[in-house]
Amino acid sequence: MLPSISGFRQTVRASISAARLEGHDVAALLEEFERAPDSYDELNRIALAVPTTPMRADWQYVEPDDLPSIWRECDARRPLGRIASIHRDDAAARVETAFLSSVCGCILGKPLEVDPTLAELREALEPRGEWPLRDYVSRELNVRGNHSFHPDARTTWREVIAYAAPDCRTTRDNPPARIERPTHPTRLSPRRSARPGAGRTGK
């Protein structure tokens, strides 16, 4: 299923903006994007061109992606000894908190991975008395005048959450499974803030 042309345009714009923040010279491509018609083919062509844009001449940062390049950029004079003591129980609790927070964040954000703007979210949430958002997203939320959600949302709406579901990558040939909500589901709550030393962020 294709996204709406306006949603696709917004996604391409976000890709160009991200490339600019990473030091790419996207000025010419951005002008081309602004002139582009509402055409999937044309917008897709521009999207594919984003990673091929050159780095800006004034970009001062070196940001390698592969480990050998990262090692080469490290200061050979850096300290290599232990910099602090690690208390196993404290570290384990922090790692668990970070992991569960990540799980909660993935569930919270998945329905909205269709790139709504902050203004669009506020417009949709305020009439429901849910702004600012303090809970998982309801399947009743109306964004951009319709119930436009990421395909994986049907396992991450707050009305049906039963577990941390992986991405299903829904396609016409691989539809999402029907959601069977258990009688007593375990609910991961974003309301409890993670704090250093906390063992869990969910119920």
Helix (H, G, I), strand (E, B) or coil at 132: coil
pLDDT > 70: what percent of the chain?
82
Cα distance between residue 142 and residue 119, in whole Å = 13
Assessment of whether the complete model's pTM goes beyond 0.85:
no
Predicted pLDDT at 168? 61
Cα distance between residue 76 and residue 139, in whole Å = 53
Cα distance between residue 151 and residue 177, in whole Å = 11
| Residue pLDDT, tens place only, 33-79 | 999 999 999 999 999 999 999 999 999 998 888 999 999 999 989 98
Predicted pLDDT at 117? 86
Q: What backbone phi and psi angles, to 5 degrees, belong to 24? A: -80, 145
> Is residue 101 pLDDT above 70, yes or no?
yes
DSSP 8-state symbol, 81:
S
Q: What backbone phi and psi angles, to 5 degrees, belong to 146? A: -155, 170
> Is residue 182 pLDDT above 70, yes or no?
no
Q: Which residue has the higher pLDDT, 22 or 115?
A: 22
Here the contacts of 136-145 (C-beta below 8 Å, separation 24 or greater) are 136/107, 136/108, 136/161, 136/190, 137/108, 137/111, 137/112, 139/111, 141/111, 143/112, 143/114, 143/116, 144/116, 144/120
Residues 6+ apart with CB under 8 A from 16: 26, 29, 30, 33, 46, 50
> Is residue 178 pLDDT above 50, yes or no?
no
Residues 6+ apart with CB under 8 A from 144: 116, 120, 124
Query: Where are the domains positioned within the chain?
Result: 5-52, 88-203
| Residue pLDDT, tens place only, 135-154 | 999 999 988 777 778 888 88
